[in-house]
Structures are given as C-alpha cells and as structure tokens.
Amino acid sequence: MKPESLRALYLRGIRKLKSVPRPEFDARVLLLHAGRISAETFHAHPETRLSATDVKRFLRLVRSRSEGVPLAYLTGRKEFWSLEFRVGPGVLIPRPETEALVEKAVGLAAERGGSILDLGTGSGNVAVVLARELPRARITALDISLRALRIAAANAAFHGCSGIRFVRSDLFSSFGRPRPLFDLIVSNPPYIGRVEWTRLTPGVRDHEPRRALVGGVRGTEFTEKLVLEARRFLKPGGHLILEIGAGQEATVRAMFGAGWGAVEVVPDLAGIPRVIAVRKAARAAGAVTSGRPACGSR
C-alpha cells in the first residue's frame, strides 16, 4: 500500500463513511488519530503523506466506523466538560447531557461540601470533574464493572485526581449496613427500557454496555431501587441528584415520598427534563467535614 496525502485520504474516508451522520467530521478525526498528526498540520499541509502503515490503520478504522463502531471507541477518547477522557468497549461513552448533572452537583456541593458519592462512575468523568471543581470534597466513585473502574482510575490519574476512592459495588452493597455516609449522591443510572433498547442505533445497541443503559423493563426500575437505598446512606439535609430519561419525570417524582423535600428538575439544552435533585429531610444541620482533597492541582 503506497503512502497517500492527507487530502486524498480525507476525501477517501468521506466516501466510505456516507452511512454515518457526520462523514466529514469522522473522517477527519480518524485521520488525525491514525496518522498521529495535529489539526494544524491537517489544515496547513494537506499534501503531507502518511506512511503505508498509517494508511492501512486509517482505512481499518474507517471500515470499523462504517460498520457502526462508535467513534470514541476507535480513538479511545471522548471529551466531557472540556476535558479528555479515556474510554473503551465495556464502558459507557460520556454524553453532553450529563454535564447538567455535574453542574447541579457542583452548585449544591459548593453550599455544603463534604463527602460525595458518584454511583455508577463508568469512565469516571463525573467523579473527575467534581474533584477538579470541588478540590476539598471527599469523593467516592463506585461501579459494578472492574473494567470501568480501571479506566476511571486511569482518567483520575491523568487529570491529577489521586484522592478519589474507587470501589467495586452493586449499588450500595460494599458499604455494609445502611448509615449516613454522604452529603451528596450523584448518579447517571441505567434508565432505558428493554423495548426502547431494541430501537437504539446499532452503534449504541451493539457496542455500548447494556448493563450501563438498560434500567429494567420500563427503564425506571433501577432508579427506583437506587432512590430507596440512597436515603439510608445520605446524611440529613444531603442531596440525591439523578439523570433521568425523556418522559420519566412524573414516574421518578413519584418515587420521593416522606423523608424527602421538594423535587427540583433541571432541563438539558434541548429543554428535556434531564436531572432531578432532591434533598433528604434534615434533622439537624450537617457539619462540613474535611479530608484529603480528591484532586490536586496540575
């Protein structure tokens, strides 16, 4: 296979990616990744030629993308909160919608501080952002998947957040008897129903981890169990913040009864109710505790 110029390869990639939503964007990203070149080189020197090895690598990536493999899995990277995170098969790819969850958590934790739990951490994107935005917080990130925890720990190390505690756990099982441990519990739980799952795009349905997406027959069963257990691990006056699916607001609202305060709903950029935040009834004012910072400066 002969060396080819960046311009020729880019146009070739676009032609082969006609079946994906953004062929120009994907072709460019895969070309930069395969050739290990910068965007500046791509734009300023389109006549630059890649080696035969890099050409072969690029075409292999293009073929995988045309078959539905998510772009983030092919590059091994995904941006979230303007930060780069490592991702891979078996780990949910961070979505822009989840930034609404983080933004709400940062606002509430800034008032209260203390101990934060990220339940279902996945790539660790939520835990890492919270650690960077709230450097004095004590953050625990849990997931049932060992693969996800390894990737999350690697992302935390990359971003200088060595103080995050990573725990393998099925919901709260690793914490033993219920007791108030956290000032804030945040979660982007699986909330897609089984029928809805079958209608997802092949890129999601065939490649991303089903366990991280499907929350039961209706999609809200996992969330219901989480709400039931979270109250027993929240400190009085603490907050539970959840990402929810489109059309689930009323169902999730109904899960909060006695012992919970008013439900606050935050829409995403499309105006869809995306985040629910609820405060546990306070018996007494909770003291702000200090501990090892979760994220050091870089």
* Residues facing 139 on adjacent strands: 116
Cα 255 to the center of its chain, rounded Å: 24
Whole-model pTM: value is: 0.90
Going along the chain from its start, the domains and CATH numbers come out as 4-67 (1.10.8.10), 94-280 (3.40.50.150)
The pLDDT, as a whole number, for residue 295 is 77
Closest residue by Cα to residue 276 from 100, 130, 137: 100
> What does the pLDDT look like over 237-278, one tens digit per residue?
999 999 999 999 999 999 998 899 989 999 998 899 999 999
Of residues 74 and 112, the one with the higher pLDDT is 74
> What does the pLDDT look like over 79-110, one tens digit per residue?
999 999 999 999 999 999 999 999 999 999 98
- Taking residues 25-38, what's their average pLDDT? 96
Helices 23-35 and 6-16, interaxial angle, to 10°? Answer: 130
Quickly tell me which residue has 């257990």 as its tokens. Answer: 229
- Give the span between the Cα atoms of 86 and 8, in whole angstroms: 29
- Give the span between the Cα atoms of 13 and 203, in whole angstroms: 18
Q: Categorize the per-residue pLDDT at 4 as very low, low, confident or very high, splitting at 50, 70 and 90.
A: confident
Closest residue by Cα to residue 69 from 211, 194, 205: 205
C-beta of residue 123 within 8 angstroms of C-beta of residue 94: yes
Pairing of strands 260-267, 273-280: antiparallel
C-beta of residue 156 within 8 angstroms of C-beta of residue 127: yes
Cα 102 to the center of its chain, rounded Å: 10
The pLDDT, as a whole number, for residue 3 is 76
> What does the pLDDT look like over 227-237, one tens digit per residue?
999 999 999 99
